[in-house]
Every structure is written in structure tokens, then in C-alpha cells.
Amino acid sequence: MTANPGQAPVPVATPSAPGQDPVLDIRDLSVVYRTPGGDVRAVDSVNLSLAPGEVVGLAGESGSGKSTLVYGATRLLRAPALITGGSVTYAGRRVTKPVDLLRLRSDQLQHLRWREIAIVFQSAMNALNPVLNVRDQLLDVIHAHLRIPRDEARERAASLLDLVGIPRGRLRSYPHELSGGMRQRVMIAMALATDPEVVIMDEPTTALDVVVQRDILSQIVELKEQLGFSVVFITHDLSLLLELADRIAVMYSGQLLEIGTAAEIHREPSHPYTKGLLNSFPSLRGPRRDLAGIPGSPPDLRNPPPGCPFLPRCAYGTSACEDVDMQLLPVATSRDPEHVTACPFVLPGTPVPAAKQPKTAEEPGA
Amino acid sequence: MSEHSASNGRASNGGASNGGASNGGASNGQAGTLTSAAATRGELAVEAISVSKDFKIGHGQTLHAVRDVSFNLYRGAVVALVGESGSGKSTAARMLAGQERLTSGEIKLDGKPVHVTGRGDFRHYKSQVQYVFQDPFASLNPVHTVRYHLERPVKLHQGRGIDVDAEVTALMEQVRLTPARQFLAKYPHELSGGQRQRVSFARALAAKPSVLLADEPVSMLDVSIRLEMLALLDDLRKRFSLAMLYITHDIASARYFADEVLVMYAGEIVERGPAEEVTQQPAHPYTQLLVASAPDPDNLGSTLRRGPGRAGGSAGNGAGPAKPHQATQVATTGCPFSPRCPLAEDRCRAEDPALMPITDTRGAACWRLDAAAPELVSGRSGGDVTP
């Protein structure tokens, strides 16, 4: 730390080595919600991969499809959601050959769920069973997915609490007797009960205050390094991901707009939406910046506008954006070929056209 | 906005006139020695004088949710109440809103003590002091239209003989929900989170209040629209010269939005002062912990990711390694933060410190300020400091 003050390059302990096969590979996944008013294209041909040991952050505002994407990929959605295309290849250490999750029979899928891919749900209060104590809920998971004797399972339940820093005395506590942070830790312990390869975390810290949030995040990082699982971390708070994630994917109205390493996204955000997100949170440190936010609201996905979905809110927008093909292409100025953006016009340094200065925060659009 | 730290002359002036205004009832507590950083913005609207709230929680136990808290709200100024969940910030605001009886202390509105006893009193008080709730999904009635939500307070508080329709339309325009006619016919579920919160703001403004208590008004909203909503609140503050209490656990937003920041911990104000000063140079160890915990994008991965060479390293921001695992512990005697405080010593565990002034506008309740914020304390004792 002291050797590289300020803008030190980030030493990533387990980088997504290009040669490494991804543990989870989502290809052209599309999900629609069937409604009487027409199909809502919640996820539109999304490609995303997760390397072993990697933390991929999925950022976007509510309704952007980030949860639908991962729930679709793990086949946790039910009607009216419908997966209309794509493949999700899972290649963990324990499976002999890669499998496509979307084409597995449900009994085959049952073997992979939790054992291989576990999920930490958003609201721990609602995700935990209020009438079972912590130990019984942990035992439920263990017995459902691992064939081990009862004594061993009990010991495992206790050691899981050790793992997340909750005293063993809390095994017999009920969810309402735990603080919000502890409940979230129990959720994490449950997800890790079967030593999964991939852990999906859906806004696990949104309801917590900053001190507890930081505590849980560092615990996730620690456990990840200790146990070697990969993480897909969903949040609307990009500032969290900058610290936590190896790579960040920015999602908007069902499409990915930009993918890059946390450092690239922070220093050289390319897509105007990413820039907007980065300019949306007040910073605590450094000089006070002028904050713009992103005026307007996301488009109606039943009737998406042609071309770039961000165009109506974009400060850089031109008529050419209506014909843009939303392909993720490498950012021309970036040294990292993995840093890709869906906006072919705007580069990291491009100034906002004077004629279309973003509305300042003082006069937001209705 | 950045110049709100009052010059010394004005601050002491304000202190004097402040004492004159609350003539006789001299707030002998902590507030008396400190001038609010918000005082230069406008006239005094609400005073909370040593208010406390206890809750009986069974088994003969009492929870001291708010303990001896004093602060003032001024017209046209924002005071932020910052703290973690359970620190008592919402209870303090609910007392100001008249929704919670005080266990002790006093609240004054425009210099007059407030005694909310009957329904009439309550309604009158409500016309002056309005509350905006955190969750716009829960605070609007799902079976009523936007129009209904706004018409009711207009009729209740503005009386007969006014053009309700014009008034409601004007409210919608003030919160920039236009075209008003179109939005008025909608039900809450047809609106986005941001639009719902705008309706909440409009509903609060319908009573033409002088004081707005905003309890985490943006924390349920997406990051991308939070700023827009805070900017709207700021605009309303200016336009109607509202005295605003902004409750949040996000100290970074308080830096941008508030004039004065009050940091609460376990029911007590542990630090207060001008927003920029408190966030940039936190004095109390708890404030330092809060600041160090905020996500810091400019410090990529430094505190979360422990690289090979950093095993066991703590946050590199000057804040000591406070003990977060004991988050539920609150000391029964002494400083409430002492079980988690890295600097705690015997005195901290025995005696609860009062808010001690650091400058005219700033104070912290900590026995170990000399160790927690040496640069601030040495500044207080005058110029003859030899480091």
C-alpha cells in the first residue's frame, strides 16, 4: 500500500486468466415475460462468462434485467417468464464434462443446484424460514444435497457458522432473533453449506448499513479466497463493485452495455450509461464534484426504442444511435481487449457535445 | 454550498441572538455551547431540547432509544441525522413529527413549546411539520389514485374556499410530475419508485409546512435517480424556505446535501458540525468508522481485497480497526461506543462523555479526542501548539 500511494494499479489475486475455461458461460441468453400487452424482453441475447475464482459484478438499475439474467441462467424463473434462446454451460470441477443447464432434465438439474451453484437471496428476512431455527435450516440444506450422517451434518452446520463469524450459540436462534447483518451471514453460510463452485449473490447487502455492509463484503472476499468459489454479484450500486469485483458488467434494459475490469470501468468508463452511473453517487473523499446523475427513466421493454435503449437519456445521443447494432466491441483506446462496449461512438475521453450538455441535477427531467 | 462553515464572528453572533430568542428557557445542555452550522441559513424553526425516548421492552428492561438529544432546525437549511440502523435517528424524527411522545425534554416550534395532546393540536402541528417516509411503496395507499393522496391533505390543511384542483396541479408541478392531469389519475403501482417518492414529497408539501422531516427519502431508490431526488428536495427547500431534517445512513450524501451533520450512535449525538468538516475530518472514532466504511471507488480494492502482502492489514484510512462483529453491543455504562472503539480506555467504560466543543460549530462526545483527532483538538486550544 505505502509503496504505491494514490492511483496504484490493482493487484488482482486471482485474475480471469484468458486461457482458463469459464466455470459458467452464458451465451445469447434471452428471456421474455409473457404479458397480455405483449412480450417484455427482460433479457436480450446476453453473453457473460465467469472464470473460476472470479468475482463478476452485474450492475444496473431496477428493471434492467440483472436478476432475470441470473435466475434465467439457473432456471429459477417460472411463468410468465420464458427462456426463448441461448445456452448456459456449466463446467465445474466435480462435473465430468460441461453441461448446458438449459437443456438438463429437472432431476439432473436437481443434482447441480446448490451443490454446484448456490444463491444468496436479496432479502434475508424473507428468504429465511421464520419458524425454523438456524440449525434446522442449515441441516435442511445439508441433508437435501449431501449424503452425510446426521452427526457429521450437525458438525458441519456449526462449522458453517464459524466460517461466517457467528458464535455457535446462535445455532438455535430463530431469524427474528438475529440482526440484519447476522441474518445475511446465515444466508451466506447456507449458500456455502455444500461447498459450491459458483455463488450468486443478489444484492446481499442492500438493506444493511455501511459498516455492516463493509464487514460482510470483506468476509465474502475472504471466504472466496479460502474456498475458491466464483461469485456473480448483483447490485445497483456500482461503487461497491469497483472495490469488490474483478470484472464488471453493466446492464441496461435487458442488454449488457459494457464489460471491463473494475479498474478499466473506474478509470476509463466508455459507455455513456456507465459514465452516468459513476457520476451518480456522491463521493466522500476528494473534492466535491458536480454530480449529474442520469435524468429520465428506462424505456418500456414491451416497446423498446430502435437502436440503443439508452438513447432517450443519453447526453451524447445522435440520430446514428437509432441504427446502432448493440454489439459488444472492444473499446478502441483500451489496452485490454476484454474491455467491451455497446456504444461505437463514445470513447472514454469523449467530451459531452456542447449542444447536448446533460441537464444538471438542478433541473432534472420529469 | 461549500461556504457554509460560518466565519467566527458570525457564529458567535448567531450564538448570542440564539440565546436571546429562546429567552429564559436557556438550553443549558449541549446545544447552548455550540452554534449550528445551519444557523446562518435562516431563522430558527424547530428546537429539540434534551429530548429522550425510552421504550419498555419487557422483563423490566428499558431501551433508551434517544438520550438527551438537542438540535435546531432553521428555515432554508438542511440538517442531516446520520447513523446506523437502530441508532435512534428515526425515533428522534418521529418525536419531532409528533408521532412519538417524549420521555423527557421539550420541542419548540417557532419559539413556542409544542404540546400535542388532542387531535386538533396534532392536525395543527402537522400543518407545520411534515414527514416523508422511506419506502414509497409502502407509504402510498395502493387502492387510491395520486389525486386522492394529494386532495386529502389539501382539503384538511388548507381549509375551505380554495381551488383544490388548481392546488393539486400546482403540487404536481412543484415535484415535476408533469403532465399533472395524466399522473393524477394513476395508481401507485403504475408509477416508478422515483415517481412514487415525488408523490410523497407533493403530499408533504400539500400542508404548506415550514419543516420537512425526510426519513431516508432516497435509500429505497436506485442509485441513478437518488441524485435527482435529492436535487428536487434541495430545490423545494430553497423555494419554500423549508427547514429540513435529512435522515440517512449514507454519510456521503449528507456531505453533498446537508449544512450540518449530526452523527448518532446508540441514541446519542456523538458528533456534530458543518457537513464538509465532519465528513472530511471526522473527529469521533465512530464517525471515522462510518467514513472508512463508505465505498471508496478511488481506492480500488484496497480494503476489501487482501493481496499477498497485506495479510491482516486494516483499513488504510487512518481509522483504527474498530470491531464490527460486536455491532449489537452497547455499553450500559460509559461511552456507548466503547465496546467497539479501538481507543477505549477505563474512563470511556465508566463515564459517558458529553458533547465537547471543538470549534464554535463543531463538537464531539469523546474522551479520547486527543488521540482520535489530534489535529482538530490542537487547533482548538489556540495557536501556541508545538507539535
The string of DSSP codes covering A137-172 is HHHHHHHHH----HHHHHHHHHHHHHHTT--GGGGG
Query: With contact defined as beta carbons under 8 Å apart, do A330 and A337 qualify?
Result: yes
* pLDDT confidence bin for B374, thresholds 50/70/90: confident
pLDDT value for B111: 85
Considering the domain boundaries, does residue A109 fall inside one? yes
Considering the domain boundaries, does residue A245 fall inside one? yes
Digits of tens for pLDDT over chain A (366 positions)? 334 443 433 333 334 444 578 999 999 999 999 988 888 888 989 999 999 989 999 998 888 888 899 999 998 888 888 899 899 999 888 888 888 988 888 888 888 888 889 998 877 677 888 899 999 999 998 998 888 899 999 999 998 888 888 888 888 888 888 877 888 889 989 988 888 999 999 988 876 778 888 888 888 888 888 888 999 999 988 888 888 899 999 999 899 999 999 989 988 899 999 988 888 878 787 777 777 778 777 787 778 778 888 988 888 888 888 888 888 888 888 888 889 999 888 887 777 775 555 444 333 333
Q: Which helix (H) or strand (E) holds A330?
A: strand A329-330
Chain A residues in contact with B263 (beta carbon < 8 A): none
According to DSSP, the β-strands at A247-252 and A230-235 are unpaired
- pLDDT, mean over chain B: 79
Q: Please name every residue paired with A35 in a beta bridge, in sequence order, or none if there are none.
A: A38
Q: Please name every residue paired with A250 in a beta bridge, in sequence order, or none if there are none.
A: A59, A258
Considering the domain boundaries, does residue A126 fall inside one? yes
Distance from CA of B90 to the nearest CA of A (A): 14
Phi, psi dihedrals of residue A107, rounded to the nearest 5°: -70, -35
| Rounded Cα distance, A134 and A172, in Å | 6
Considering the domain boundaries, does residue A301 fall inside one? no
- Residue A1 has its nearest CB partner, among B252, B255, B302, at B302
Q: Which of A109, A99, A101 is CA-nearest to residue A73? A: A101
**Residues 308..347 of A with a Cβ closer than 8 Å to B: which?**
none
Considering the domain boundaries, does residue A39 fall inside one? no
Considering the domain boundaries, does residue A151 fall inside one? yes
Packing angle of the helix pair A150-163, A180-191 (nearest 10 deg) = 130
**Is pLDDT of B6 > 70?**
no
Cell for B84?
446506523
Non-local CB neighbours of B114 within 8 Å, separated by 6+ positions = B98, B106, B107, B108, B125
| A288 touching chain B per CB within 8 A | yes
How many folded domains does chain A comprise?
A: 1
- Residue A283 has its nearest CB partner, among B231, B252, B308, at B252
| Higher pLDDT pick, B253 / A301 | B253
Interface contact B297-A242, CB threshold 8 A? yes
Distance from CA of A366 to the nearest CA of B (A): 5
Q: Reading across the β-sheet that carries B112-113, which strands appear in turn?
A: B62-74, B44-56, B104-109, B112-113
Chain B residues in contact with A281 (beta carbon < 8 A): 223, 226-227, 252, 295
- Amino acid letter, residue A236: H
| Higher pLDDT pick, B330 / B347 | B347
Q: Any idea what the CATH number is for the domain that residue A227 is in? A: 3.40.50.300
Domain of residue A199: give its range: 50-67+104-252
Neighbours of A300 (CB within 10 A): 11
Helix (H, G, I), strand (E, B) or coil at B375: helix
Considering the domain boundaries, does residue A133 fall inside one? yes
Q: Give the chain A residue nearest B191 (alpha carbons).
A: A297
User: Under the phi-then-psi rule, with left for phi > 0, alpha for psi from -120 to 50, and beta for the rest, what region is B382?
Assistant: left
According to DSSP, the β-strands at A117-120 and A198-202 are parallel
- Residue A236 has its nearest CB partner, among B222, B305, B310, at B222
| A62 touching chain B per CB within 8 A | yes
| Rounded Cα distance, B359 and A349, in Å | 43
Q: Give the chain B residue nearest A64 (alpha carbons).
A: B222
Interface contact A293-B224, CB threshold 8 A? yes
Chain centroid to Cα A320, Å, comes to: 31
- Amino acid letter, residue A6: G
Q: What is the pTM of this model?
A: 0.78
* pLDDT confidence bin for B302, thresholds 50/70/90: low
Interface contact A295-B228, CB threshold 8 A? yes
* B64 CB-side CA count, 13 A: 16
Share of chain B above pLDDT 70, in %: 80
pLDDT value for A261: 92
pLDDT value for B303: 55
- Residue A209 has its nearest CB partner, among B2, B84, B192, at B84
**Residues 93..122 of A with a Cβ closer than 8 Å to B: which?**
none
Q: Which of B55, B52, B167, B63 is CA-nearest to residue B104? A: B52
Interface contact B85-A180, CB threshold 8 A? yes
Distance from CA of B53 to the nearest CA of A (A): 22
| Rounded Cα distance, B231 and B222, in Å | 15
Strands annotated E in chain B: 44-56, 62-74, 78-82, 104-109, 112-113, 129-132, 211-215, 243-248, 260-265, 268-274, 356-357, 363-364
Considering the domain boundaries, does residue A212 fall inside one? yes
pLDDT value for B301: 52
| Higher pLDDT pick, A126 / B88 | B88
Q: Please name every residue paired with A12 in a beta bridge, in sequence order, or none if there are none.
A: none
- Residue A61 has its nearest CB partner, among B224, B252, B324, at B224
Average pLDDT over residues B31-47: 78
Best of B172, B196, B223, B248 to mutate (most A CBs within 10 Å, chain A):
B223
Interface contact A11-B307, CB threshold 8 A? yes
Complex ipTM > 0.90? no
| Higher pLDDT pick, B330 / A102 | A102
**Is pLDDT of B199 > 90?**
yes
Average pLDDT over residues B128-150: 90
**Is pLDDT of B31 > 80?**
no
Best of A14, A285, A291, A294 to mutate (most B CBs within 10 Å, chain B):
A285
Non-local CB neighbours of B119 within 8 Å, separated by 6+ positions = none
Distance from CA of A252 to the nearest CA of B (A): 12
| A4 touching chain B per CB within 8 A | no
| Rounded Cα distance, B302 and A6, in Å | 11
What is the Rg, in whole angstroms, of the alpha carbon atoms belonging to chain A? Answer: 21
Q: Please name every residue paired with A25 in a beta bridge, in sequence order, or none if there are none.
A: A49, A89
